Structure formats: C-alpha cells, structure tokens
Structure 1
Amino acid sequence: MEFSTIFMGIVGIGLGVPAGYYLDKWISQKTLNEARTLADRILDEARKEASAHKKEVVVAAQDELFRQKQELEKEFRDKTQSLEEKEEQVHKRRERLEEKQELIVQKESEMLASEKRLTAKERELADKAEELTRLADEHDKRLQEISGLTMEEAKKRLMDEIESKTRHEAARMVRQIEMEAKETADKSGKKILALAIQRYAGDFVGEQTVTAVTLPSEEMKGRIIGREGRNIRALEAATGVDLIIDDTPETVILSAFSPLKRQIAKMALERLITDGRIHPARIEDIVKKCEQELDVKIREIGEQATFDCGVHGIHPELVRLLGQLQYRTSYSQNVLQHSLEVASLAGIMAAELGVDIKRAKRAGLLHDLGKAVDHEIEGPHAVIGADLAKKFGESGDILHAIMAHHEDVPPKSILATLVQAADSLSGARPGARKELLESYVKRLEELENLALDFDGVSKAYAIQAGREVRVMVDSENVDDDKTFLLCKDIAKRIEENLTYPGQIRVTVIRERRAVGIAK
C-alpha cells in the first residue's frame, strides 16, 4: 500500500516536470508574441504622430520665415524711405549753405567798403578836431585878453555862481518839500499829540525828593551832634551822607550824590528823632533797619509801577531799578513819575498809529532806567540804561528805543520815535520841570548869543521860558532862501552846543519895511 502510493507519486512527478516546462515555454512564447505585436503597434503610432508633428513644425517654420521676410522687407522699405528723406534734407541744407555763403561774401565786400568810408571819415574828423582845438585855444586867448581873467579864475568865478544858484535852488526845493510834507503830517501829528496829552491825567508837578529834615526844636541839633560830635560822625559813617547843621532854624540838610543814601539817612534821622535815643550803637541799628525797609519798599514801588503801567515779565533786577527812580529827580521832576507818563503817552500814540501798545509802554517805562545808577557808572544815562536792559534780557527794539530817546544813536524805528516824542511831551508840559534862576538866565543868554553869532542876524530874543528863540535878520543881506537855511543852521548849533530840557523852537523872521512921510 505504501509502496504503491510512493510509486505513483514518483511517476506523477516524472510526468509533471516535462509538462510544466512545456507549459511555461508556451506561455512565455505567447507573452513574447503579444509584446512584439504591442511594440509594433506603438511604433506605428509613434511614426504616424512623428510624421504629423513634423508636418506641423515644417508648416510653422514656413509661416515664421514668411513673416520674418515680410518684416525685413518692410524695415528695408522704411530705411530706404528714411535715407531718401535724409538725402533730400542734406540737399536742401547744402543749398541754404550755398545761399548763406553768397550772402556772407556779399556782406564782407560791403563791410570792406564801409571800413574804407569810416577810415576816411575818421581822418576827416581828426582834422576837424585839430582845427576846433586850435580855434578853441585862439578863442580862449581872445577871451582872456578881453576879460582880463585867466582860465582858472574864470572857472572859479563860474563855479561860485553855479554853487550859489544851486544852493538857492536846493533851499527852495527843500522848503517846498517840507511845506508839502507839513501840510499833511502836521495835522495828523498835532492831533495825535494833543489827544495823547488830553487823555493822560497825571500830576501837574511831580513829587520831589526832599533832602532837608525838619527838627522839633533847636535843642535836637545838639543831641544829633552828640558829645564831641560822635553821633553825627557815626551817622555820616553809617549812611555815607554829609549832615549840614547850620544856622537854618530847626532844619538839618542831608548832602550826598546818591538819592538812595539821602533817603536812608532821612528815614534813619527821622526815626532817631522820634525815638529820642541817639547814640552810635542805636544809630547803626536804625540805619541797618532802614536799609532793609527801603530795599523792600523800592521793590514794592517798582512792582506797583509795572502793574500801573500794565507791563509784565520784567526782570526782578530791572523792577528794583525802577523803584530806585522814585528817589531820583531831573530838573525837579520825579523820574519814576516821568517814566510812567512817557509809558502812558507812548501807549496812547501807539494806539492811534496802530503800533504794538504793550511794546511802546514797555520801552517808555524803561527809557530812563540808566538814571537809577548814572551816579555810579560813567556815560550817558540812555546808553547805561540800554546796557542794563540788555544784561537782563530785553529785546533789541526796546534797547534801541532806550538808547535813541536822547539821540545818542539815530532813531531807526517807529517805537524809538514814539518814546522820544513821549519823553519830550512829559518834560515839556507846563509845570513838569524847573531849574534854578541862575542857570535859567544863563541858558537864555547863551541861546540869544548863539543866534547872534550868525551873519545877517540883527536881533535875537529867547521867549516862552527859553523854549523858543526868535531871530530877526537883515532883509538887505538875507533873502527868503537864506532865511530857511539860517533857521536850520541855528537849530543844529543849538543841539550841538546847549543842554536844555525838552525842545527849542527856532523862528527866523525876515521883513521888508517901507517908510514914507506925508507932508
């Protein structure tokens, strides 16, 4: 059983191996044939597609060649046309150049002919000039022989006559121009000044700084002097003020150049008199307290002045200097009151003219700042004030207005002119200032003598308290035009040689009188 089974298996294997081999071979051959058939078909299709694509490429290439050929032909035609146009332009230019060349040749021949004519005329003119020079020399010689004058003398006489005529003509023109300007400017100027004066309501006379102290009795003089003069020496040493005790009843005079020192001495002396205890230690204590009180009072006065004037933002040191002006006078006019007046008047005039009112008031308030320290610093108070204002940060227009209000420099802005006018108004109004009789009379005499020094002046009178000088001239020697020039010259010399408050009007009068006698 087992043997038969094994035998059958061996037989099966022997038969199956060749059969499998041939089966696999048949399958492989069939697959190979199918692949060849597929490959042939693919190759046929590829050949067909390649052939079709080749035809398309050939057609596209032919189209591209045709298009490029057309573009090249068109470009060739365009370039050929452009060359023909350029050739035509070149031909036309050549023709124009030939025409211009002909014109140039023609003009050259004309210029040569003109040069020949000009050369001939130049020779002719040179001959005539020599002839004229010879005739002029002969004429000058004959004129000199006839007139008896040399050429230089004749020239000098002619120049003198021309100068005289020109001077008269210039004077006439200046007078005419000023008259025309005054017709329009005087009315508006007077209106503004009058309005400013009317609107300002200040004190008629400013407060004065008093340097005399009234005593309750004559016995107080002895107590002030003290034993062997120790009290008066202590007071003078502490204050820097000289005490003058003379025969004036119940009065002590304080003498010092500094107004602040005089004020401190006045306050201390009055307090000592009231207190009754007068000795060196007490004097020193009282003087120190008075100095402190005066410093506080000065600042309060300065602040009040800026508040009254409506001017803000001023440096504290300038405010203190303004307060010091309360104790400074000029021709008996209180300088702080004067400064407030100038600020108010400048503000009023600025409002009428459309100028910045605050700037005008500021410049007017600070214009006399230098008078607070002019006894300590050399120089004009206007320049000192401008330097102080510059030191504490005031602007350039304010500095110029301060420096120019007495014409230490010429005024170059309307603000400087306003401050100058307001300063003159405040000082020139009636009752504002006064001076000693001796200096007043001397100034009037100097004013009259100065006017009498001019040629042609017959009489001169100082009137209106020295604010006007009237000059009478000789009508035979001075004509109308010289009268006008004489007025200007006198005013200029007054400005250069005299010192005076306010302004001085110069009036020159020329009149011709005819006198007849009826019998």
Structure 2
Amino acid sequence: MPEIIYIVLAAVVALVVGFFLGRQMAGKARQDVEAQAQGRAAELLQEAEAKANRLREERIQQAKDKARQVRNESEQEIRRLRQEADQDLAQRREVVVQQEASVKQLTQASQRQLEQVQRKEKELDVLREKVSNEAQRQQEKFEAQEEKRRLHHEQLAAQLQEDQEAADALRHQLQQQLETIAGLTAAEAREQLVESLKNEAQIQASSFIKDTVAQARLTATKDAKKVVLETIQRTAAEHAIENCVSVFNIESDDVKGKIIGREGRNIRALEAATGVEIIVDDTPEAIIISGFDPVRREIARLSLHLLVKDGRIHPARIEEIVAKTRKNIEEEIVEIGERTIVDLGIHGLHPELIKMVGRMRFRSSYGQNLLQHSREVANLCATMAAELGLNVKHAKRAGLLHDIGKVSAEEPELPHAILGMELAKKYKEHPDVVNAIGAHHDEMEMTALISPIIQACDAISGSRPGARREMMESYIKRLKQLEETANAFKGVNQCYAIQAGRELRVIVDAENVTDDRAQELSSEISQKIEKEMQYPGQIKVTVIREMRAVAYAK
C-alpha cells in the first residue's frame, strides 16, 4: 500500500515536472516559431518592397514611353495641320489673286459699258434737245394760229353784230314801207322779215361753219404731230440688239482641255444637251457659244460656268447640270414676267401670259429685244392714251401684249398678231385689248379706240434708227424652218441648227432607228431641205445615233 502511494506520488510529481518542462519547451518552440515567422515576414516585406519598386519603375518607364509617343504624335499632327494650313492659305491666296483679276476684268468691262452709256446719253440729250426745239417751234406756231383764229372769230362776231344791227334797221324800214305802200299788217310784214333774215343767217352760218372746218382740218395734223412728239419725248427705253454669239470668259486656257474632254466627248455631250455650238479656238481666255436661240445660249453659258466652278466635267455631269440650269431658266422667265408687269403697273394678268412676257426677254424681233420693245410700246401707248383721254390701263396692257404671238410655244401657221389675239381671247382679256392686238398690223378691222394707238406706237418703237435689222429676223426664221423640217421625220428626238445655219445636227432614237436608217435619214432630210427651202451655200446634215445602257443598283 505505501508503495502504491509512493508510485502515485512519484507519478504525480513526474507529471507536474513534465508539465512544467513541456510548458517551457513549448514556450521555447513558440519563440522559435515566432522568430522564424518574423524573419519570414521580414523577407516577404523586403521581397514585396523590391517588387513594388520594380513595378513602380516599370510604370514610370511605361508612362514616359507613352508621354514620348503622345508628344511625337502631337508633333506630327501639328506638322500636318501646319502643312494643311499652309496649303489652304496658298489656295486662298490663289483664289484671291484670281478674284482680283476677275474684279479687274469686270471693272474694265463696267468702265467700257459706262463709257458707252455716257456716249448714248449724250446722243440722247442731243436728240432730246432737237425734239424739244421742234416741239417748241410747233407750239409757237400753234399759239400763233390760235391767236389768228381768235381774231378771226372776233371779226366774225363784230361783223355778225353789224349785220344784226343792219337787219334790225332794215326790218324797221321794211315794216314802215310795207305798212305804208303795200298796206300789209304788222304780222304779215314780220313774217316776211323773219323769212328774209333766216335765209341771210343760214348763208352766213354756212360760211362760218365752212371756215371753221377748214381751220380744224389745217390744225388737226399739227396737233396730232404734237401729241406724237410729246409721247416720244417722255419715253426713252433702251434698245438691246441681239446677236447669235455669246462669249464665256475663263481664267486660263487649261480649262479648254477639260471642256473638250478625251477625244472631244465632253464638248459633244454639251452641244447635244444644249443645242448650241461650242467654239474652242485660239482666242485667249475665252470660249465662243454660237446659236440663234438666246435661251439655249444662256443655258449653255450658265452650265459652263457651273461645270468649270465645280471642276467635275464628264458627260453624265454635263447632262445633270444642263437639266438643272434649264429648270432655273424657266423659273427666271416667270420671275422676269412678274417683275415686268409690276414695273408697268399691270394687274390681273393670267399666269400663262406672264410666262410668255418673261420669254420675250430671250427673243428678238428684227434684231430688237422683244421685251424691251413691248415695254416701250406699253409706255408710249399709256402716254398717248392719257393725252387723248382714252383708257390708259387698256392701252398699256395691249401695248405689252401686242407681240405675244411671237413667243407662243405652238407656233402655228398664223400671223403673230392673229395668234396673239387668240391667246388674249383665250385668257379672258378685255375685248378692246383683244382687238388692238389683232389689228396692229391691219390684219383685221379696228373696232376699239385704242387700236390705232397700238399700231402707231409699235411703228414709233420699231422705226427708231438702229432699232431693228430685217436680216436677223429672216435668218432666225430660216434656222427655225431647218429644225422643224428635220423634226418632222419619225425617230428624230432633237434637232439643232449650228454654225450659222451651215450645219444641221440631228439626234435620233437608237432603239427605233438603225445605222442604215440613220444614213437614209440624212439623205432624206437633205433632199427635203433642197426642195422646200432657199439658202446660201450648202447645209451639212449630221445624223447622230448613240446607244445608251442604263441600270440602277439598289
């Protein structure tokens, strides 16, 4: 029993000692672990700091490289922008130089036009002075004649008074004689006296009326001349003589090659689309546009201006620009007509008549611009109607529309006066206006009071020196007849008379006309021209057949 206790006590003591020893050993091991952990942590911290330093240096290097790259790109962009700015500045300087040259040319042209206007104004002043002196002389003659007529009337009145007194004395004497000798009553004597005085008064009245009528006939012609002279003196319209050539100015001769195109395709497309002849010769900085129709020449001139300005000159672009220009010209025609009627103070005109008035700007009559001629006739008619006490509005309206038949799109085989009358009647114009238009060339009877005025003013406007040229009208009629002759054939799409009527260019439908038929067509047209027309020299007939294939990608 005591041994067991000793053993137990020994075990307890051993456990206690082991516990304390294990605790000390565990504390020492923990210290070792902590020391190792601290060392490891220090190593990891050093590695992290080194890695962070490397990453920081790499980031800094990358940022420096990125900044260097951005700086290089910025410098390149700045150099590019500077080059573009220099190029743009050079182009702008070139444009400014070109504009200065153009302004210089326009200034010179304006100066020449100003000199021409001043010269015309001087001539007009001389003419106005002559007309004024003549009118003053006529006025003095008229006043002298009026004074003579007044004196003559006073003498006739005095003579009539003396005759009346003598008749009274004679009546009293006859009454006494009749009562004394014949034994007549006073009533019977009065009847015989009244009959005697009546016969004498009739003789004197007939003589007075005859003298008055003769005097009126003598002064009527002079009064009419006075009205005409005053009307011409109050009206001074410009005269624009049309020709068949327009000049298109270019900045340099290099543009001529672009207009001609490869193998002449551009100039052929332009001539086919506009119906005029484009003459590119050695004339410096100028291209000649030839054609008898002023509308076609204007379309060609504006189209060339847009093509040269745009720089893209090829057949498709030419057709597009010509179509656009033709539409703009039609709008301009309406605007010209509206501006004309506003300037003249005419209201209520039908839109179709307004459009025809605008087309007058691009037509000529015997070389005289038709719109300027019609405006002048309208102003002359208004002035003359006011002098004669007639309807001024109707006279001005008829004066503007008197040549409206010359710009009709139909152009039937009727005189332009009759055709204009039919158009005015169609668009509900006043009967006096209709009659004045139809009768201004004596092709129908004048029934309106303003009709002689329209005829006289038309003659006044057309008879001024240099206002008209008969050759121009016959020349244009011949060119129109040429085109109408070719258009009458089947398969002809377009036809243009060019080179002053020496060549007829015919464009046919490629689908309906074969190559063989095109050759036959040129021969048939030339034969018909030989039979039906009279012309100097020879006319070249050129038939053009062009095949086109068009498709659209959608």
TM range (shorter): 0.3 to 0.5
Structure whose CA Rg is larger? 1
The alignment's TM-score, normalised by the length of structure 2, stands at 0.43
